[in-house]
Amino acid sequence: MNEQPGGPYPDLPYPDLMDRVVNLAKRRGFIFPSAEIYGGFRSTYDYGPLGVLMLRNVKDAWWRAMVQLRDDVVGIDAAILSSPKIWEASGHLANFTDPLVDCRHCHERWRADKIEGSCPNCGSTDLTEPRAFNLMFKTYAGPVEEDATVAYLRPETAQGMFVNFMNVLTTTRKKPPFGIAQVGKSFRNEITPQNFVFRTREFEQMEMEYFVPPDEADTWFHYWLDERMAWYLGLGIPEGKLRLRHHEADELSHYSAATADVEFHFPWGWDELEGIANRTDFDLKAHAEHSGERLEYFDQASGERYVPYVIEPAAGATRTMMAFLLAAYDEDEIGGERRTVLHLDPRLAPYQAAVLPLSKNDALVPLSREVLGLLQPVAVCDFDVTQSIGRRYRRQDEVGTPYCVTVDFESLEDRAVTVRDRDTTEQVRVPIDRVAEELAGRLRR
């Protein structure tokens, strides 16, 4: 994590952006602190009605780019609880540790590499010697709690792809270069979860393992750096808030020959959104050795047999959702009235449209429901009849809904509705029988 000279977000009128986004997320049903009625549970979060829509959109956008629009990547969904032999082979049992220190004064625990000699809580310098703390959550599979039944919650989705390498190869008949993608929950017993959903103990990852001939690894590493940067930019992260940072040799994980992080300019400075690594043949070789199975590719045409290298773009879905919220947050003035607006890409916004009857009038509501029925097949829609129309526009702007469709008294006469654009607030009149087509067209852009 690098602090920017001049402080974070010098270009923004609200230096407390993080508080505003956390507040909005809670107030509008994106993200709630978990178990709130019991006083919460440190750094765990529940995704509310809007959060679940947006998080799904983030994952769908990733899946679309990484799997659907390609013919060289397939998906899997591997078990979260699986054989502990996986973690022995991968090196996680031995290496997946953080250096932990205890403050002898206030008994808080810290990552030794994240503090500078004194306890950030009470300032005491009376700290224990660092000791290695394994980040994997340990549990027992079955009713007997003994060494033989120890299992771990996966700390990354990646290993599910490596252990299924031969299954995927033989069932899909793919040949390198090809990839296996997966989206799902991972768990790490982080010593200091922090910064809202940036670092939590339960989170979602979006990872892809791309298997390539060893001599092509460097080319594909750079290819995926470009692809992944383009994905974030294409979904609306401004160029000035995104950068690539190459790891120094002493920073590389035990499996990596090269790693670069896609970094986002968070309110506390530049920090990681995604790691892209050349994992070499480390994982396939390790699993081959530990399982006794051959994990190789045999090229029938050339008679060549080799262990592919792996290029891995590994992103966090929950962390990325937070970055999209931070990047989209804005406050401006419309017609002399201040509003909060999320300039989210329509593909990420929880609702793509809101249908708003001008009033609760008996005749307007049934017509509005008819419009809603026409739009629901092409867009996720909200339907809101409460409060003044101005207030309802503000409410939709605040959660990033790109289009409001208003049904007014004239609609009863001309069977047309008003479509309002969130960013420009421009309004156009569209016949009801063309409104679904109009909206679908706008959302495709």
Tell me how far, at minimum, the Cβ of 79 lies from ligand GAP, in Å.
16
The string of DSSP codes covering 401-415 is: -SEEEEE-HHHHHH-
Cα–Cα distances in Å, from 387 out to 50, 285, 390, 400?
A: 20, 63, 8, 19
- 3-class DSSP string for 54-113: HHHHHHHHHHHHHHHCCCCEEECCCCCEECCHHHHHHCHHHHCEEEEEEECCCCCEEEHH
Q: What are phi and psi of 311, to 5 degrees?
A: -105, 125
Which residue, 266 or 297, has its beta carbon nearer to ligand GAP? 266
Tell me how far, at minimum, the Cβ of 427 lies from ligand GAP, in Å.
39
Stretch 131-170: interaction string toward ligand GAP, x if CB under 6 A: -------------------------x-x------------
Residue ranges in 178-197 that form contacts with ligand GAP under rule CB under 6 A = 188, 190
Which residue, 264 or 383, has its beta carbon nearer to ligand GAP? 264
Contact predicate 177/146, CB 8 Å: no
Among 229-237, 267-275, 355-363, 429-437, the segment contacting ligand GAP (CB under 6 A): 267-275
Residue 90, interface with ligand GAP (CB under 6 A)? no
CA distance 388 to 408: 13
Residue 242, interface with ligand GAP (CB under 6 A)? no
Which residue, 77 or 437, has its beta carbon nearer to ligand GAP? 77
Neighbours of 145 (CB within 10 A): 9
- 226's CB contacts (< 8 A; 6+ apart) are none
Binders of ligand GAP: how many residues, by CB under 6 A? 19
Contact predicate 134/96, CB 8 Å: yes
3-state class (DSSP) for residue 212: strand
Contact predicate 314/183, CB 8 Å: no
Which residue, 273 or 288, has its beta carbon nearer to ligand GAP? 273
Among 19-27, 38-46, 203-211, 336-344, the segment contacting ligand GAP (CB under 6 A): 203-211
Tell me how far, at minimum, the Cβ of 199 lies from ligand GAP, in Å.
4
Candidates 313, 316, 357, 400; binder of ligand GAP (CB under 6 A) is 316
Among 34-42, 91-99, 311-319, 389-397, the segment contacting ligand GAP (CB under 6 A): 311-319
Among 316-324, 356-364, 391-399, 400-408, the segment contacting ligand GAP (CB under 6 A): 316-324
Candidates 98, 274, 281, 408; binder of ligand GAP (CB under 6 A) is 274
Residue 207, interface with ligand GAP (CB under 6 A)? yes
The residue to which tokens 């009376």 are assigned: 126
Residue 5 identity: P
Among 67-75, 112-120, 270-278, 379-387, the segment contacting ligand GAP (CB under 6 A): 270-278
Lateral strand order in the sheet of 178-187: 73-75, 178-187, 202-212, 309-316, 269-280, 258-266, 242-246
Tell me how far, at minimum, the Cβ of 233 lies from ligand GAP, in Å.
17
Residue 205, interface with ligand GAP (CB under 6 A)? yes
Radius of gyration of the chain (CA): 25
Stretch 97-136: interaction string toward ligand GAP, x if CB under 6 A: ----------------------------------------
- Closest by CA to 209, choosing from 251, 160, 245, is 160
Tell me how far, at minimum, the Cβ of 62 lies from ligand GAP, in Å.
12
CA distance 438 to 190: 47
Tokens of 128: 């224990």
Which residue, 318 or 368, has its beta carbon nearer to ligand GAP? 318
Which residue, 156 or 281, has its beta carbon nearer to ligand GAP? 156
Neighbours of 445 (CB within 10 A): 5
Residue 282, interface with ligand GAP (CB under 6 A)? no
Q: Is 2 exposed, middle or buried (0-12, 13-18, 19+ CB in 10 A)?
A: exposed
Residue 273, interface with ligand GAP (CB under 6 A)? yes
Candidates 98, 263, 271, 272; binder of ligand GAP (CB under 6 A) is 272
3-state class (DSSP) for residue 344: coil
Which residue, 207 or 438, has its beta carbon nearer to ligand GAP? 207
Contacts with ligand GAP, residue ranges (CB under 6 A): 156, 158, 188, 190, 199-200, 203, 205, 207, 272-275, 312, 314-316, 318-319
